[in-house]
Structure 1
Amino acid sequence: MPSESQQAMSWSRMATIFVLILAVFILFDQNLRNGLGQLVGYGLEPLVGFGGAYPVVTLFLTGMIMTSITIIVRHFFTDYVDQIRSQKIVSAFNKDLREARMENNTYKIKKLTEMQQDILQKSMKASTAQLKLLPITMIVIIPIFAWLAVFMGQVPNTIISVPWALNVNLIDTILLPIWVILYSLISVPFGQILMRSLRFFEFRKRLRELEAGE
């Protein structure tokens, strides 16, 4: 009979597959993408659209909104202490097993192999917690990207200057549309800063709780 963690992983995998299939449909079905983008635009257009006059500012603010939502959701559903503890345990186990094999220590290999299933379950538990959040974050990401695709198609002037070129068309494509690349350059650093800041404050809060309990 499947364990509770395996059942949770199965449901999370099914939800993730469903959301990914939905994302593929939206990606390749222009009518669906435009419809979803226009629907989301009723909320985002007045907030960060600026009538298409400042597309880079729109990309920056939209990136901040989307990144903040996804990271904050993950933050409140992630136990950082348990996550790091699990990573340390798996890392130490792999190191011990590797050393035992190099030394050809059959007794130690046997003992570690017996522990392997328990270690894998702990690692799977941490992975399951993250996998559960993926459909939720994708539900935020897909509609916002659909709106950005619609929005960028309606911007009257998509020519901008960047540090590496005087004139760049945001709707040109180099593997990905330029606006997607620019969006990533803006949102990824912001996301890293926000994630590290939230993690720092969470650890500081935990330390204060431990100190207060002593």
Structure 2
Amino acid sequence: MRKLDDVAQAGQMLLLMVLLFIMILIFGDANIRNLVASSLDAVFTPVIGFSGENPLLTIVLAGVIVVFLSSFFTHLFTNWKAMGQAQEASKAFNKEITKARKEGNTNRLQKLMKMQPQIMRMTTQSSGGMMKSMFFLFIFIAPIFIWLTYFLGNVSYFFFTVPWGSGASLFARNSWIMSNWFLLYMIFSYLAGSLIRQGLKWISWSNWWQNMRKTIRPSAK
């Protein structure tokens, strides 16, 4: 059983590494980026492009879409109950180890250290759903972000007003390491993500979601 778990974990790590390699390849090749962006431009520009007249709203909506998809797929493949149990077990385990070390109880410490692989395996298994969601995140999120950079690059008017001044450029860096548009994207995504993730957690405890989850991902008999 342990060997099967180790093989499954190794397979998930290999899949993640392959996805990261493909993502680096896509983001690093301008031709591939332009192909992806131009393909999605016909879909997203009529919906959230607003003819390039309101790029801030486009950034907000693109961030909401990305965060919603990210939160949804992570929520779909994550067993929050198992993750909570693993976190509590790990917390109790660390507390016992600290107590044994303070008391100098070497026998107790040795027994606990033998249990450590089991605790680590429990934690890894509970977070395995997040690894599975990476595949869907790559399919949906990376192309949307590529399209957003492509869209903003073709906007004719890219200035906006802030409370402390006017005529701020979306592409200016000022004292920030990142561009203004990316900073705004991160802020809006964080705020929207907090609300969406909290809402999904509330839904996860409902009977409706439990039945829906079994329908989407039927358990093996």
**Taking every aligned residue pair, what percent have the same amino acid on both sides?**
27
Alignment of 1:10-159 (within 5 A): 10-159=10-159
SS of the residue aligned with 2:127?
A: helix
In 1, the alpha carbon distance for the partners of 2:193 and 2:30 equals 29
Partner of 1:195: 197
Partner of 1:8: 8
1:2 Cα deviation after fit: 6.5
- What are the ranges of 5 or more consecutive residues in structure 2 without an aligned counterpart? 212-221
Q: 1:37 is matched by which residue type in structure 2?
A: A
For the aligned residue pairs, the C-alpha RMSD in angstroms reads 2.1
Give the 3 Å change call, closer, same or farther, for CA 201–127 of structure 1 in structure 2: closer
SS of the residue aligned with 1:168?
A: strand
1:19 Cα deviation after fit: 1.8
- What are the ranges of 5 or more consecutive residues in structure 1 without an aligned counterpart? 210-214
In the TM superposition, structure 1's runs of 4+ consecutive aligned residues that sit over 3 Å from their partners are none
Give the 3 Å change call, closer, same or farther, for CA 117–152 of structure 1 in structure 2: same
In 1, the alpha carbon distance for the partners of 2:140 and 2:154 equals 22
Partner of 2:219: none
Give the 3 Å change call, closer, same or farther, for CA 81–2 of structure 1 in structure 2: closer
Give the 3 Å change call, closer, same or farther, for CA 165–92 of structure 1 in structure 2: farther
Contact in 2 for aligned 1:49/1:58 (Cα 8 Å): yes
Q: Give TM-score, length-normalised by structure 1.
A: 0.89
Give the 3 Å change call, closer, same or farther, for CA 131–158 of structure 1 in structure 2: same
Q: 1:187 is matched by which residue type in structure 2?
A: S
Partner of 1:212: none
Q: 2:150 is matched by which residue type in structure 1?
A: V
Q: Give TM-score, length-normalised by structure 2.
A: 0.87
Q: 2:188 is matched by which residue type in structure 1?
A: I
